[in-house]
Every structure is written in structure tokens, then in C-alpha cells.
Chains A and B, each alone.
Chain A
Amino acid sequence: MTAAAPPAPQPRRRLSVLGKALRNVGLVLGAVIVVAMIAAALGAPWIAPYDPDAQDVLLVLGTPDSVHWFGTDAFGRDVLSRVLWGARVSLYVGFVATAAGVVIGTVIGVISGYYGGIVDRLVVAATDVLLSFPQLIMGLLLVAVLGASLTNLIIAIAVTAVPAFIRMARGSTLAMRERDFVDACRSLGFSDFRIMFVHVLPNILDELVVMASLWLASAIRTESTLAFIGLSVPPPTATWGGIVREGFDNLLDGPWLALFPSLAILAVMIGLNMIGDGLRDASDPRAPQ
């Protein structure tokens, strides 16, 4: 018997997704913005021209100039340095909280969707209840109960993300469970754990990544909002929301105080949403080329 000729080589799927991603202007632009922000946050100790907490009583509410690019605040602190240092807290909280929410939510969602039954119904009911609270109210409630600290802030924001990822992972797992390859896995004697996390999970990962990038934006916004109403890391530690809040008190005397951290938040939001939209388009086989 002669073996059939091998089919013509095709580009690998991952490469073609990457290729599509690179041709997507929005995605590339978003990635550039976000990577620049992350680099600025990581490099803050070296980039920041001044100590973010150093006060200069002679330079209170200084207008932006060549020495203090973003001006100085009511205590004479350099706003550029504070925005750079604030990025560390805001991005850190956003990333860690989202990561925790994605991991916990996905694990619960996949297990719940895979097994179904009474546990699944309880999980769905609990998820519906949690999702009925707006994200900000939920975060506010938790921080108020737990107390304002970096860890509690991360916990509060992660908890708001968990139900959304449970719902998404559960739904995708329900669809995957009916696929033939899952039956094939069972016929090979694979354990439920292996089927769930080696076979089902990689198939729903693309959707989760897209949603995670959008939730990251949401988490950073929630952190900023909580900081704005004073429920974030206590002062004098700089966070974006906190700097906006301080600027707000002097909005008429020094509008730049609130403007620059707000622009930083805006830039990250836009960047992350561009990434999310771009990833979705790149991973969607039905999207026009």
C-alpha cells in the first residue's frame, strides 16, 4: 500500500494568529502604549527625576516647566515622579488582581462546567448574585470591610473579577465538553483532571486572554476609583487615583495636578482595550482578513 502524499505544508496556526496580530494596527499601538507604561513603572526608581515624596515648600503648585515637566503639587512634590511611582502601584494591583481573578475563576468555571449537576447549579447561582453587584460597589464594600491596604485592595478587585471568569470559562467548557475529542480522551482512559486542564483549557484560552486584557483595564480603573475616594493604599504612597484626588482639591489653582495622572489612566485604558479588541479580531477565524 502506498502512503498518501503529505498535504501541502501550511503555516502553523500560532504563526498565522501572530501574523494577523502584527498586521492589526490597533493591537500593535495598544501594545506599544501598555509596554511603555509597564517599562515606566518598572523603571520609576531610575527614570523619575525626583523623590516622589520629597516636599519643597518653596515650590508649592508650581506650573509645568523644563525643571518639573508635570509641575508640582500642594506639597511641592514633583508630579512626574509621582505619576511614574504611582504607575507601580496601579499597574501592580491591576495585574495581580486580574491574574488572581482569571486563575481562580477559570479553575472554578472549568470544573463546574465539566461536571455539571448540583454543584454547577450552585456555582451559577452564586455567580449570578455576585455579578448583580456593580464592580465598583463590590470592590468598595470589600475594601470597607477588610480595610484599606495593598493586599486587601488586590483581594477586593480579584473578587469582582472571579464571577465574570467563572461564567465565561463555564460556558466555553460546556461547549467543549460535547466535542468529539473529549469522548476520544475518555476512551483513552484520561482522568477528568487531565481532560479539563490539558485538553479543554487550551481550547478556551484565547477567549480568556481577550477577556483578561479587558478586565485588566477594568481592574486598573477600579483601583483608581477606589484610590480617588481614599480607599486605596494610604498616603503618602503615590497611586494614580490618589494623585487625581489630591489634584482635585486644587483643581482651580493647578489643573495639571489632576490632568497628568488622568491622562496616564486614560492611556492605559485605551491601550488595553486596543489590545483586547485586536486579540479578539486576530483569534477570531470568522473575522474578515
Chain B
Amino acid sequence: MTAIPAPAATAATDGPPLIVEHLTTSIHVGSDRHDVVRDISFSIGPRETLALVGESGCGKSMTALSVMGLLPAGVASVTAGRIVVDGVDMTAAAEAKRESMRGDRIGMIFQEPMTSLNPVLPIGFQVGEALMQHHGLTRKQARARACELLERVRVPAAADRLDAYPHQFSGGMRQRVMIALALACRPRVLIADEPTTALDVTIQAQVLALLADLQEKEGLAVLLITHNLGVVASVADRVMVMYGGDVVESAPVAAFFARPTHPYSSALLAAMPRIEGEGGLQPIPGQVPTLTEMPVGCRFQSRCPLRIDRCALLPPLAAVGGDPDHRVRCWVRMDT
């Protein structure tokens, strides 16, 4: 494999490639404002993977779109907080600056590899296109680099497949191509939104191994969005569980699986199939309340078995078990 030269622009800072501080994202319906992400903070260092976990509608994807600056215009917007990517404050930057960051300093891969590639353009062109846009490469140079990139994501016979179209690739191969696309400009941050959900289990493992390998080589900070706790256990360093737009638990991955503390986290784990498990799966009763019906205070209280009167006040994200890295948002479970 040909070596790809290091990025021309070195990191603007030595700090974490991605810092999110007190991010609040809201959906605007008429004059009403509903917070779909409430006051969440995290940072991801090089070679670190943070998993954002929760069921549909919990705010994971909204967090990802906020970080990318791709919230649907006029519908949702970041209403508070700061997002710093590779030393650049994305929330304060002009749209043109954000556009130049996307694809270059921060990349994203999507859930559906079958539809995330343009069906009528050849693979080689699509992989090299970001390099033409951000680094001013000519079509010929971009094509040569596209070939290297496809080899890097282990697409067999890459040189012969540059002129192939997406429908000629299997799902797993397409997700590799998507990874090549997202990493073409050697970003420092990668957001992976359910990257393996649409793939067969055997292919999932291959894609995750490839991602981990590339992350190690490139020093990527990865924000992994998933509802699959098995994937979390195998690749993440830290876990943040979200519910109704709030972070309800944040912990290193080992501590999380050893001692899931928030009632929602325990319920999530109980709902996961296990080989040695007995008594079958335990579904979480009820559903995430709609935006207009969100309870005041702790948002999980409507489905929580441990509910007390104090839950009408939003608990802080507080340390649990004397471990400052393991924090939970629950009056019952937090250290007192």
C-alpha cells in the first residue's frame, strides 16, 4: 500500500479534537421551543471512542447533526453551548468556515450504506471528490488517491473498481467505501451514526475492526452513535447514555457494564439478549414521551420503577460509587 502523506495542516491545538460544552439543541415549532438535546458536555481525545447510546428519539442523532452543523435549517438549531472541532469553534464560525471543516477536519459515516452513495457516479470519483473540493486536487490526482484510499479500507482489486458504480458493491463493501469517503481528507474527528446497524453480523465485525484499525493509525477521535450495546462493549472507551435529550449516565465502558447505575441503563442492559441469560428479554415499558409531553424534571420518571417525589426536579449529573468518571443523573442512585 502506498503511504499517504500526513495532513498538511497539523492540529491547530494539542487538546482533544472534539470538545462539546453545554450543548443545547432545540426544535422550533411555531413560537414553541422544545429542547431535544439538553446541556450535554463531553470531549473526545485522539484514538478515543465515545459511544452515545439510547433508543430512537433520545437525541443521539441530533447531537451528531449539531456537531456537524447539519441541523435542518429553520427547524432545529443550537441554542446554547459550544462545539470545538480541532480548535475551531463551530458554533461561532460562519457557514462557509463550517463547510470547509466538514469532510476535511470532521467526517461522518451514515447508517445506510445502500443509499448514502450517489447511484449514478462512479466510486472512484466519489471517493476522491472531497480531495478536489478541500485540497484542490485535479481529477487525475484525486483518482490516484481514491485508489489508495480504497486499498486502505481493504476493498479488493481497488484499482479495477474505481469505475464501478455503487450498486455493484455489497452492503459491507459500500460501508467501506463510505469510510474511505469520510476519511479521504484525513479528518481528526469521525462521527459514526449507527455504522453497522444495516449490515450482517459477520460484516459488522469486519467493519468495526477496520474502523478500530484506521482510528489507531490516524489518531481519530470517534463519536459512535448506536443502540447496540454489543458494539459499545467491543469498541468504545467511554459510554454516554441519553434519554429524552439528557445524558443520564456517563462512564468508562468497563465500569458501565460492571455497574450500570441509572434505572434506564439497567433497563437497556436487561433488554439486551444474552446467551447465558434466563427468563428472556425484559422490554422497557412505555415509550419515550413526545416532545410536548416531556415531564418536568427527570425525563425518565414516566417509565421509571424507582420514581420518587423529588424526580420532579432535574437531578444533576453526579458521581457514583466514588468514581468521578462514572456519573449518573438520578436522585435515587447518585452518591449522597
Contacts and interface: CB of A to CB of B under 8 A. Distances in A.
A203 B206 contact: no
A145 interface: no
Contact of B181 (A13, A184, A198): A184
Interface size class of A (residues with CB under 8 A): 20 to 34
A202 B164 CA distance: 16
Contacts of A187: 68, 70, 102-103, 107-108, 110, 182
Contacts of B108: 184, 187
A20 to B, nearest CB: 16
B104 interface: yes
Interface residues of B, number: 43
Contact of A7 (B100, B168, B209): B168
Given A1-B210, A9-B168, A191-B133, A184 B154 contact: no
A191 B95 CA distance: 11
Contacts of A188: 102-103, 107, 129-130, 133, 181-182
Interface in B116-158: 116-121, 129-130, 133-134, 154-157
Contacts of A1: 154, 206, 209-210
Nearest to A194: B133
A199 interface: yes
A180 interface: yes
Contact of A4 (B116, B130, B178, B206): B206
B112 interface: yes
Interface in B156-202: 156-157, 161, 164-165, 167-170, 172-173, 178, 181-182
B112 A189 contact: no
A5 B100 CA distance: 36
Interface string A99-115: 00000000000000000
B99 interface: yes
A186 B178 CA distance: 13
B210 A184 contact: no
Interface in A1-32: 1, 3-7, 9-10, 12-13
Interface of B: 68, 70, 99-104, 107-108, 110, 112, 115-121, 129-130, 133-134, 154-157, 161, 164-165, 167-170, 172-173, 178, 181-182, 203, 206, 209-210
6 contacts: A1-B210, A3-B156, A7-B169, A13-B120, A188-B103, A189-B130
Interface of A: 1, 3-7, 9-10, 12-13, 179-181, 183-191, 194, 198-199, 202-203, 205
In the complex, the 8 A-B pairs of residues with the closest C-beta atoms, listed nearest first: A189-B102, A188-B103, A189-B103, A187-B108, A180-B115, A184-B116, A180-B116, A202-B120
